[in-house]
Structure 1
Amino acid sequence: MSNHTRALPPAATPKMQQRKERQRFSTSDDSAMTKQVQATHAPDGREIDVKPILQIVDEILVRFIARTVEGYEVKRDQDALEMTAALAEFDMLDSLAYIINKISCELSCKCSGGGDAHSSTMVLLNYISSYAWHAKVVLTLAAFAVIFGEFWLVAQLSAENTLAKSVALLKQLPDIAENFMSMKPHFEALIRLVKAAMDVTMCIVEFKELPSEYISEDTPPMSVASTHIPIASYWVIRSIVACSSQISSFIGMRNESISSTTEAWELSSLAHKVSSIYEHLKNQLVLCYQYIDDKRHIEAFHNLIRLFETVHVDNMKILRALIYAKDDVLPLVDGTAKSRVSLEVLRRKHVLLLISDLDLSQEEILVLDNLYKDARARGDTQYEMVWIPIVDKATWNDMSKQKFEYLQSLMAWYSVYDPFIIEPSAVKYIKEVWNFSKKAILVALDPQGRLSSPNAVHMIWIWGNLAFPFTSEKEESLWKQEIWSLELLVDGIDPTVLEWMTEGKLICLYGGEDLEWIEKFTATAISVAKAGKFELEMAYAGKSNAKERMQKMIKTFTTRKFSYFWPNVTSIWFFWTRLESMLYSKLLHGRTVEKDEIMSEVMTVLSFDGSDRGWAIFCRGATEMARAKGDSALRCLQDFDKWKGRIEEDGVVHAINDYLNKNKPPHHCNRLILPGSTGGIPQKVVCAECGRQMEKYFMYRCCVE
C-alpha cells in the first residue's frame, strides 16, 4: 500500500476561526442554551460515590497518558499499586460498568461520523438525564477514559505485542512511536482539554460535597454556582465529545501523515473556554468555603461563649478551645526548657494568657520576666503564663516570623509554637469579649478555666505577684490598703528611693525633658537645701512614651550629673505605666476624681507629664507630699526666702505646699494624655489645678524616634 496524505479541509485563518469559536460560545451561553440543557435534567435521586471513579480516570488520563505525552517516565510506585488494588474492590463499579460502556459506545458512534458536536452532546445529556450533574460529568469522563485508554494501549503495544499489532492493523491506527513528532501537537492539545475538563469536573464534585449543615442550595455563593453548574457540565461533556472525535480521527491513518494543526488548534480553543469556566467556578468555590468557614467560626465562637458559662472540673476544655483542640501536635513551647510541650502542663493551674500583637515591648517582657521568675522562686504563687500572639495572616512575612521567634526567645514562660494554630473563633472571642485591640492584655483563668479577670495587666503592674489570684475582689482589697504615698508611686521600681523615705530624708521626684529647666531646677534645689540646712535627695523620673529620647537623657545625666536618675528606660517606662494602670484600675472600679484622692493625684501627675515643661513632687516620709508643675516648682525654690521661716514650725513639705497654694498662677493650660488603646477612657476629667472639667480632644500620635 502506498503512502499518501489524507486530504483535510482547508485550514481557516486564525481570525476567522476565532470569530467562529466566539459565535459558537456566545450562542451556547445564552439563556436558550441554558434552558435546553436544563430540560434534559431529570434526576431520580440515586446517589453515586464518584470519587473512586475519578481516581481511576485520573490514573488513566493524567498520571499515565498525559505524563507519557509530556515526556515523563511513568513509574508505578507502591502507593499507586495499593490504590489500584483498593479501587478494584469498589463494588459500585459493577452497577456502573454498563452505563459507562453505553456512554463509550455513544461517544464512539456519534464522533466517528463527524456529526455536530452540540447535537452529540445533547444526545448524551438526554441519555444520562436521571443522574445528578456531578455524576453526569464523571461517568462521561470515565467512558472517554475507556476509549482513550484502549486506543493508547493498542497504539503503544502494537510494536511488540502481536495481538495489539493485529488490532491496530484492523483499525489502521498510526504508529505513535514512528509519527510522534507530527502527532504531538494533537496529543498535547488533547491533554490540555482533558485536564481542563477534569478541573471543572473536580470543581462540580466539590460543590456537591460541601457540607449542607453550613451551606444550602439557596445560600448566595452556592445558589450562584448552582446556576452555572449545568452549563459547565455541558461544556465538559462537549469537550469529551471533541476529544473522542480526535481519537476517532486517528482510525484509518496508519499510512497517512498528519500535516494540519487546525484540529489541534480547535481543541486548544475549547480548552481555553473550559479553563475560563473552571476559573469562574473555582472563585465561586472559594466564596463557598469562606462562607462555610465563617459559619463554622461563628458556631465555634458561640461554643466558646457557652464553655465559659459552664462549670468544668478542670481548665482543659477552655484551653483547648482557646489554643488548640487537636492532639496531632504539641502546641506550646516551654520558654525555659526551649522544648515543645502539650497543654497538659497547664491542667488545674492558674493561667495567665498574655495576649498581644508582635509590637510587645522588651520593657513589658522584662518586667513580666522578673515577676514570673519571682513567683517560681517563692513557690507560694502558683500560676503559669502563656503568650498568645494575635497576628494578621494577610501581612505575615519572613520579617514577621523573625520578630515572633525573637520575642518568643526572650520569654521564660510558655508560648504557642505557631501563631496560626489559634482559630479565628478564638481570635474573635479575644477581640470582642475580652476587648483586645492593640495593647497587651493578661487574661487570668482559674484552675477550672473560669475567668478571674479579662485583663489583670493593671493590677499586675501595680502590685505584681501580690495581686494573685488576679480577681476583681483581690484588686479591691489591695486598693483598700493603699494611700497616696511615695511608696505607692515607686514601689517595685527603685529600692534606693524607698530607703531614702525610711531614713526620713526630703525627696524630690521630678521629670520632663526640658534640659534648661532641669539644669536650673536641680541647681536651685541643691542651693536651697544647703541654705536651709536640710538633706535633699533628688531622683529623675523622665517622661512617658519617649523611649529613644529617654536613652539620650540618661546619657546626658551620666555626663552632667544633675542628680540621681534611673539608669535604664525600663524603670522610666514602668513608672509611667504603673500610673496609667492605677488610673484605669480605679476607673474599672467606678471611682471618680472628686471622691478618690489616689485617682485625683494620679491624674495630676499624668497631666504634669503632658506639659511641655517639667514637674516636681517633694516628699518626706510616707505621706507628706507637695507637687507642682515645672515653672511653679522652680519659682517656689527661687522664693525660698519667702517661706523658709515656716520650715521650723511646719516642716519643708508643708511650707512648700503653703507657698504653692498661695501663689497659684492666674493662667494655666493642663493636658492629660491617655493611651486610647487601653480602654476605659473617663468621660469626665477635672483639672488638677482649678477643679474645672477639662475639654476632651482626640489626638492621633505617631512617634518615630
Structure 2
Amino acid sequence: MSTMDKSYMESTYFKEINSSFKAGGISNTAIEAQINPFELSEEQIRKKIYETHACSDDSFDADSLFIIVANILKRSCQIVDEVIQEDIKVGLDNIVEINNPKSGFNVPMCILKKIGCELLSCKAPVAEMAHETTLAIFEKLRYYSWEAKAVLTLAAFAKEFGDLLHLVQLDQTNNHDQLTKSLALLKGSCILPNTPEFRHKRKIVVGELNNLIKATLKVMETIFELQKLSVYGPHSIAELPIALNSYWVVITVIACANKVTILTSEHDSPHDLSPYDTKIHNILSILSAQLAQFRLMKEEEYHYYKLLKLSKTSDEVMEFLKLLFFSQDSHHFHLIDGSNNYQSVRLRRKLSLEKDIEVSRCQRPQDPNEETLLPRVARLFVRVSRPSHLPSRPGFSPISSTFSRGPWSPSNSPVSSSFSLKLLTRLLYLFALVVEINVLKKKKALLVIFRPDMLESDINILRRIYCEKIKKYNTEKEYAIVWVPIIDETFSYEHRTIKYEYKSWLRSKEIQWYSVSKLVSHKAGLRFLREEWNFETNPVAVVLNVARGIVENKNAMHTIRLWGLDAFPFDHETERRIFSEMNWLYTFFADFPHQYGKLTNWVKKEKYVIFHGGMDKEWTEEIDEKISFMSKDLNIKIKRFNIEERVEVKNKFWGGIDSLMLTKFHKEEYYFAKQQVKRLSSYKHTQGWFALNKGPTTVVVGSRATFSKAVAEFDMWKVSVRQRTFEVAFKEYHEKLCKSLNSTHELSSIACCSSMRATTIQKSFGNCCTIESVLTATGEYPEKISCPVCDQVMEITVTYKCNHTSKDDFHC
C-alpha cells in the first residue's frame, strides 16, 4: 500500500466510514490484503477481468449512450474551468457543441443505478478497493462488450457529476432559488466555489480532477473513432488491448468518483490521482498514434478509390495522372523533360558570364527545398534565362516565365544579394527543364513504371525506342515515354537515399524522355499500381492513350523485351498482330498424324518447345544434352521436337517453309515472321538448326553453332532469366551472338549457309548465309532481299545443280 493510501487511512474521513466497513466484515487488514492493480502485469489484469466476461451482446447502442455522456461531461468540465477562473458565463458562445443520439434510444436506467451504487458506496478510495469495485461492476455487465462496460460506468458517473456541476452553475447565477440552494446543500456542490478552502487549497486539486475526466473522456472518444475506422485496418484494430483499456477507464472513473465524494465533504482527505492520470495519458498517447495511422489509412483508401474511379473515366485522364504521379496535397504537376539537356548547359554558361554576381557562401538551411530557395534566386533566373533562349515547345515552362509572374516574381519575393554559384548551378539542373503534365494531353504515352534498380539493358531498349521511333521520325507530338520510378518500404537504405537525391540520380541515367519530378511513394498510388496494373518488382510498361483516355496495354514490357522496336507503339493491336505472325511454325503441324497431339498439348500449356533438325545425326543427341542442362539449371521444362524423326513430317515442314516464302515474303506487315522464315530457310541443308517456341509463338531461330555457343556461355546470361524470362534472355543473347559472329566472320566457318557448295563459297568470301528458291507467286525473283542475320542486302546468284544419281551413288 502506498504512503498516500496509508495517510488516508489515518484521516478523519476514513475513520468515519471505517465503521461501515467493519459492519460489512471488512477490516483494515483485509484492505491491505487486496490487490493493487498498479503492481500487476497486463496479463494478470487480463486474466482477472476475463473471468467476469461472457459472450458480448452487440445489440446495445453504446454509441448513442456515449453521445449523451460526452454532452454531459464536456459541459460539466467547462463549468469547472469557469469556476476555477471565477468567470461563470451562460452566454451561447461558451456552450459546447451538443450532439444528439439516435432517435428511439432508451437509456438503461436500472443498469446505471446498479453501477451508481458501486460508485457512490463510500468505499475506501484506495487502488486496492477500486480494483475490487471494477471487478464487481464488470460482473454486473458480464454480457456487454468491453466498450459498453466502460461507457455505462462513465454514464453512471456523468449522471452524478453533471447533476453536481449543474447545481454549481445554477447556484452562481440564481441566488434566490431556494430549491437550487437546498439541492446544492444535499449534493455538497455549495462547498466547491464558495469556501475559502476551495480558493486556496482545492482549486488545484479540482483542476487536476477535471483534467483527468477530460483525458478519460478523450480515451473513450478515441476508442470509438478507432472502431469506426477499423474498416481501413482490421488487423491493427484487433491488436489493440480494448479489454485492458476499458478496465483502466472504469477504474479511473471509480477513482474520480471517490475524489468527488471527498471534495464535496467537509473533510480534506488525501487521494492521489497521479497514478491514474499517468496511466490514462499513456493509453491516450498510444491510441492517438493508432488513430493518426487509421486516419492516414482512411485518406489513402479515399485516394485509392478516387484513382480507381478516375482510371475508368476517359475524360478525367489528366486528373488521374496527377493523382497517380503526385501526392494528394501537391500543387505543382511538372514532368522533367530529359530531351532538353543542352538547354541546361547553355544556361549554366550564361550564368558563368554574369560578372556582377557576388560569389560567396549563402546562408541557407542545411536541407534546401523548392519552396525556400525559389524566391531567393528568382531575380537571377529572370536575368539569365530569357524565354528567347529556350525553344518554343508545347507545354514547355521556361524558368524566367515562371518567375516573372505569380508569388515567386521578383516584385513579390525579396532576393538576397549573396548567392552560392554552386547552389545556383544545382538549381538550374533542378528547375530549368520542366514541363507541365498537360504536355501529354494529346499523346499516346508509354508509362514505364519501375524500381530504381531497373536493368541497364531495359533502359537501353527505351533509349532505342525514343531515338529511333520517336525522335528520328519527329513523332513527339504523337508519342511520349514517361519514366515513373517508385519506391516503397521494401527498399534498402541505399535505395531510399535516391528519394532525396532523385534529380541527381536521374541525370546519371542520361534519360532523354519525360520523367516524373519525384519518386512515386504514396501508398494509394502504389496500391493502384499493384492491384490494377499488376506491378510487383519487375518493370511494367503501360500504354496509355491520353488523348482518348484509354489504357491500350496494361503491360507491354514483355513485348518490348522480346520484339524491341518492331513492336512499336506496343498497343494491344500491334501486340496481337506480332504474336499472330509469329505463330507460323506451329501452323505446319495442324494436320499432322495423331501421334503428334502431344505438341498441341504443349502449346496450349504455353510450354517451351525447341524444334530442331539438320543433316548431322549427332546434332539430335547434342541438342538433347544441352536442353537437359539448361532445364536442370534453370528449373524449367523445355520440350523438344525433332523434325527429322519422320520423313512425312520433314517433307511437310519444309514444304510449309517454301509456301511461307511465297506468301509472306512480300507483305511488309509480316516483317517479323518474314525474317524468321528466311533465316530458317537458309538452314535447310546445314548440319543443324533450332527454333525456340513459347507456346505457339516462335521466339528465335538459329543455327547449331549459335545455339552451342549460347549454351557454352550460359553463365553469362542466365542471371537475367529471373527478371526477364527465359525466352527474352535467350533471344537477346542469341541475337548478340549472331551479330558478333557475323562481324568477325566466324559464321563462315560454322556452316550457316543453305548448301554444301554454298558453304565452300562462304568460307572463301565470308558471306553470312544463302537462301534458295525465293520466287514470288508469279514466278519472278524479288529485286532485293535483306539477310535475315545481318540485315544487309543479299547478292543474287543463279546456281544449276544436277539431280541425276547413278546406281553406284555417283553425284554429278
TM-score (norm 1): 0.48
Question: Which of structures 1 and 2 has the larger relative contact order (alpha carbons within 8 angstroms, sep 6+)?
Answer: 1
TM-score (norm 2): 0.43
